[in-house]
Chain A
Amino acid sequence: MSNYLILGAGPAGVIAAETLRKVDPSGSVTLIGDEPEAPYSRMALPYMLAENVGESGTHLRHGERHFDKLGIDIRQGRVNALDVGARSVALSDGSSVGYDKLLIATGSHTIRPPIPGMDLAGVENCWTLEDARKIAARAKPGSRVTLMGAGFIGCIVLEALAARNVDLTVIERDDRMLPRMMDNTGGQMIRRWCESKGVRVLVNTAVQGVSKSGEQLVLELAGGESLEADLVVCATGVKPNVDFLENTGIRVEDGIIVDNRLCTSVPNVFAAGDVAQGPDRTTGRQEVHAIQPTASEHGRIAARNMAGVDTPYGGSLSMNVLNTLGLVSSSFGAWDGVSGGSSTNAVDTLGYKYLRLEFEDDYLVGALALGLTQHVGVIRGLMQTRVPLGKWKARLIRDPHQLMSAYLECTQGVIA
């Protein structure tokens, strides 16, 4: 009987535990997470803040005694150290737990810029359920809220804060919103849209420090302006939770390096989700794709390989979908193009619609879309199955909106 240990009870860890139970019904499965909550999805937090769901609506699983019934031993604890020789982990309460196969699914933690005042009460992240509770307590209708960082996570939080009817200002250091998910055209369009909905957006703006004046927080901006706020929400990046791996020999770069079985550089130790730097389906390189679909795929595939069911992974795809105050945008793969590739786009500035496609040889390798909500998934389909586009490539370059027709004809063979 194998003894499986999983660190981190987020989506990657939970899906791995359930998969292990399925493929190795007799193995023992232990899941250790440090948050004092039922396993939940971070990405559901914005919907709790928007008051679409209550706390339990963020839970990954809803069945009563779900983990008990599956025979998954779920414990609260923080792992401090890993001994790969002895195959055991040390917890902060002094106890230790052994394993035959280990999965590291510890995700990442938020980082704040190194400026004064980032530790003041009222400067919050939006990363954990506890963070969301703190934000909910301060973000009342009419309160002045400043959001630092307009990346993907920042923009999701923006949507949630706006739903709470706060007086919102967004500050981004880069020259546009979503610098890593949108090109200039898309980023500027989203910014105009947000401004038209009453959100103040400051790009090319650095916060130099935050201080307290009575009950108010005061942000000092480069250039001399200062800004008062009741709440500052910080969405300025994350780092993988890998501290406890020091001196284990496990290779870490941007995340834990894993092969196409999700195995780390040390045998019997696997990694999955936000903490893992695994194969990218389109580039073949190892990348961190800190998104829900990757966490779920990693969790499932790592578990199968841990249980000895050899399952190679085709790699994850960098992709995101976002709703900014009603404007839906998505990005896929190499949306910024590849060298020697070709590109096409269609822009409707007034209608807030944009579609950009990137090709390499005969294949679609990246895309950006604004205002597209129907059949978006075919972009993933065309990219991951690497269906040659044939004559459709030229047609798409003339009219990117032929995407669905191209997909149907290339994959379903309606017209020979």
Chain B
Amino acid sequence: MHKALVIDPDKCTSCLQCEMACSFEHEGVFNPAKSRIKIFEFEHGKRSIPYTCTQCAEAWCMHACPVEAITVNLSTGAKEVNPDVCVGCKVCTIACPFGTVNYESDSGKVAKCDLCGGDPQCAEVCPTDAITYVEADWTGYDKMRDSAVRAHS
């Protein structure tokens, strides 16, 4: 079984270390706007939630891609975008029902979490363990449904 990023919003202090680490790993700059994990704040910052791709089993983005630019990394299970193949059509950005594939106008391509090849920097730097990289066996939808039920029960 592959490891997954497990997120515990209760522990998140919104310090943005994950966004900095992610943008540095992928773009070589410390710039939260270029991060593939995003912190969303609620109640004027009283609560926050780190949010990124769950590498869902359905892989909506991968199946919708017209040119096979998104493939599974067999060692991590991550759905990775190959920028040399991506034509920037953005179909994956609307096909992903989690909204975790984003178009970057600078490059004209899309970017998404790739688990940093098995050493996700967000989890590495998170000082509170709000983001951890551990064994887990849910699909994106299971997780989403679970939490939806919790939110409305």
For the complex, is A390 an interface residue (Cβ under 8 Å from B)?
yes
Q: Are A15 and B63 in contact (CB under 8 A)?
A: yes
CB neighbours of B89 from chain A (8 A): 43-44, 47, 321
Q: Are B151 and A413 in contact (CB under 8 A)?
A: yes
Q: What 17 additional pairs, Cβ within 8 angstroms, besides A377-B93, A378-B98?
A: A11-B66, A43-B66, A47-B89, A52-B88, A293-B94, A321-B89, A321-B94, A330-B94, A373-B90, A375-B38, A380-B97, A385-B148, A404-B40, A410-B151, A411-B147, A415-B42, A416-B151
Annotate A405-416 by CB proximity to B: 1 below 8 A, 0 otherwise. 101111111111
Shortest beta-carbon distance, B43 to chain A, in Å? 7
Shortest beta-carbon distance, B58 to chain A, in Å? 10
Shortest beta-carbon distance, B29 to chain A, in Å? 18
Q: How far is the CA of A390 from the CA of B151 in the complex (A)?
A: 11
- Flag the segment in B20-28, B100-108, B129-137 that touches A: B100-108
For the complex, is A284 an interface residue (Cβ under 8 Å from B)?
no
Shortest beta-carbon distance, B33 to chain A, in Å? 9
User: Chain A: residues with CB nearer than 8 A to chain B?
Assistant: 11, 15, 41, 43-44, 47, 52-53, 57-62, 291-293, 296-297, 300, 319-321, 323, 326, 328, 330, 332, 373-381, 384-385, 387-388, 390, 404-405, 407-416
CB neighbours of B98 from chain A (8 A): 377-378, 381
Tell whether A404 pairs with B99 under 8 Å between CB atoms, given A60-B66, A414-B9: yes
Look across to chain A and name the residue whose beta carbon is closest to the beta carbon of B67: A44
Q: How far is the CA of A414 from the CA of B9 in the complex (A)?
A: 7
Q: Are A44 and B87 in contact (CB under 8 A)?
A: yes
A-B contact count (CB 8 A): 145
CB neighbours of A378 from chain B (8 A): 97-99
Annotate B81-119 by CB proximity to A: 1 below 8 A, 0 otherwise. 000010111110111111111111100100000000000
Q: Are A377 and B96 in contact (CB under 8 A)?
A: yes
Look across to chain A and name the residue whose beta carbon is closest to the beta carbon of B90: A321
User: Chain B: residues with CB nearer than 8 A to chain A?
Assistant: 9, 38, 40, 42-43, 47, 49, 51, 60, 63-64, 66-68, 85, 87-91, 93-105, 108, 144-145, 147-148, 150-152
Q: Are A375 and B100 in contact (CB under 8 A)?
A: yes
Q: Are A292 and B64 in contact (CB under 8 A)?
A: yes
Look across to chain B and name the residue whose beta carbon is closest to the beta carbon of A50: B87
Look across to chain B and name the residue whose beta carbon is closest to the beta carbon of A387: B148
Q: Are B94 and A300 in contact (CB under 8 A)?
A: no
Look across to chain B and name the residue whose beta carbon is closest to the beta carbon of A416: B151
Q: How far is the CA of A328 from the CA of B102 in the complex (A)?
A: 12
Q: How far is the CA of A387 from the CA of B96 in the complex (A)?
A: 16
Give 14 CB contacts A-B under 8 Å. A44-B87, A53-B87, A296-B63, A296-B64, A323-B88, A332-B94, A375-B38, A376-B93, A378-B97, A408-B42, A411-B148, A412-B9, A414-B42, A414-B49
Tell whether A413 pairs with B88 under 8 Å between CB atoms, given A15-B63, A60-B66: no
Q: Are A408 and B87 in contact (CB under 8 A)?
A: no
CB neighbours of A385 from chain B (8 A): 97, 144-145, 148
Shortest beta-carbon distance, B30 to chain A, in Å? 19
Shortest beta-carbon distance, B105 to chain A, in Å? 7
Look across to chain A and name the residue whose beta carbon is closest to the beta carbon of B92: A377
A-B CB proximity, top 4 nearest:
A413-B151, A41-B66, A378-B99, A381-B97
Look across to chain B and name the residue whose beta carbon is closest to the beta carbon of A297: B63
Tell whether A411 pairs with B85 under 8 Å between CB atoms, given A60-B68, A378-B97, A384-B97: no
Interface-central residue, A47, A293, A416, by most chain B CB under 10 Å: A293
Tell whether A293 pairs with B99 under 8 Å between CB atoms, given A326-B105, A387-B148: no
Interface-central residue, B9, B66, B102, B144, by most chain A CB under 10 Å: B66
CB neighbours of A15 from chain B (8 A): 63
Look across to chain B and name the residue whose beta carbon is closest to the beta carbon of A380: B97
Shortest beta-carbon distance, B144 to chain A, in Å? 5
Interface-central residue, B95, B144, B147, by most chain A CB under 10 Å: B95
Q: Are B51 and A408 in contact (CB under 8 A)?
A: yes
Q: Are A59 and B42 in contact (CB under 8 A)?
A: no
Contact of A58 among B67, B91, B148 (CB under 8 A): B67
Q: Are B151 and A41 in contact (CB under 8 A)?
A: no
Shortest beta-carbon distance, B57 to chain A, in Å? 13
Q: How far is the CA of A384 from the CA of B103 in the complex (A)?
A: 22
CB neighbours of A326 from chain B (8 A): 105
Q: How far is the CA of A321 from the CA of B111 in the complex (A)?
A: 16
